[in-house]
Amino acid sequence: MTVHPAAKPPISIVIASDNFYAILIAPLIKSIELHHKTAEKLEFFIIDDGITPKNKQRLLDTLDPAMSRIQWVKAADALSQHIRVPVDNTAFPATAYLRLFAPHVIPTDREKVLYLDCDMLVLDDIAKLWHIDLSDHLFAAVQDLQEVVSCSWGGIPNYKELGIPADSKYFNSGLLLINAKKWRDEARTTKVIQCLIDNAKYVNWVDQYGLNAALANQWLELDRSWNWYASQGDKTATGDTPRIIHFLDIKPIFKSYASNKAFQTEFYKYMQLTPWKAHKPVSDYRRLIRKTYNKVKKVFTKAT
């Protein structure tokens, strides 16, 4: 009898999006697939905050079925702990808070999960990131441009009141490699959201405030190449090529995109390999209308 080696567990990746930014997921998925070289399958858990059936099919058509599959998770179902997401005063979509539930939308036998913002491109094998040893850390992330919690233009405005040292490093929440079992066992989603509620008047960068305030100094710092901001140069400070590009500011689908043009070109290289291959940068009015919509929606939600 031939004994076959057990298949390696899949790489579990969570992405959250509404329909407006669903287009960004396609080049992200394709970039991950094209650079993935190891034997693990890719399993994408997409938290669906209103993605239309048409766009869902486009994303399914983006996949290489021999390598990847998508599990759809309705946003309402992702809130499995019956926790009400806080309502802030920013123009960020409420979808941003869904990353806090990433460890809860994967099967309970999975001990690790990778959360990625939808506005990213992956330019190296995602397995290299996946297999980084978290040791006893709750999660791994990359330091943000704000760098420390005491940053004068961001950070955690009430870091002193929270007892966080001023030089504590501040991370970007767009990429989180999470010890899912530890996160669930310690009810970290509940603790972060309670922090957001308790400190509502200080919340600036929505979920990122809560994560940094509640989980300060509990994370493993990753090399900056794993979350390289599109406003930066083509090479890291050490001369390395960025491994993941993060379009933090205006997204590359808009004519008003003002970050590194080489990264926008790279973005459309992968877009060409998806059902959105004919897409060209569009006018900014849709983005501005969306920001206004987000703010009005939050005002209405607070009033009801």
User: What was the pLDDT predicted at 239?
Assistant: 87
Enumerate the β-bridge partners of residue 221.
Answer: 141
Band of the pLDDT at 301, cuts 50, 70, 90? very low
Tell me the per-residue pLDDT of 253-286, one tens digit each, with 9 for 90 and over: 999 999 999 999 999 999 999 999 999 999 886 6
pTM beyond 0.85: the answer is: yes
Tell me the per-residue pLDDT of 177-192, one tens digit each, with 9 for 90 and over: 999 999 999 999 999 9
Tell me the per-residue pLDDT of 103-115, one tens digit each, with 9 for 90 and over: 999 999 999 999 9
For the chain, the average pLDDT equals 89
How many whole angstroms separate alpha carbon 62 and alpha carbon 68? 10
pLDDT surpassing 90 at residue 163:
yes
Closest CA to 11 of 124, 113, 135, 99: 113
User: What was the pLDDT predicted at 1?
Assistant: 42
pLDDT surpassing 80 at residue 141:
yes
Tell me the per-residue pLDDT of 64-109, one tens digit each, with 9 for 90 and over: 999 999 999 999 888 755 566 666 565 456 677 899 999 999 999 9
- Residue 124 has φ and ψ, to the nearest 5°, of -145, 170
Tell me the per-residue pLDDT of 222-262, one tens digit each, with 9 for 90 and over: 999 999 999 999 988 888 899 999 999 999 999 999 999 99
User: What was the pLDDT predicted at 16?
Assistant: 96
User: What was the pLDDT predicted at 85?
Assistant: 66
Higher pLDDT, 193 or 94: 193
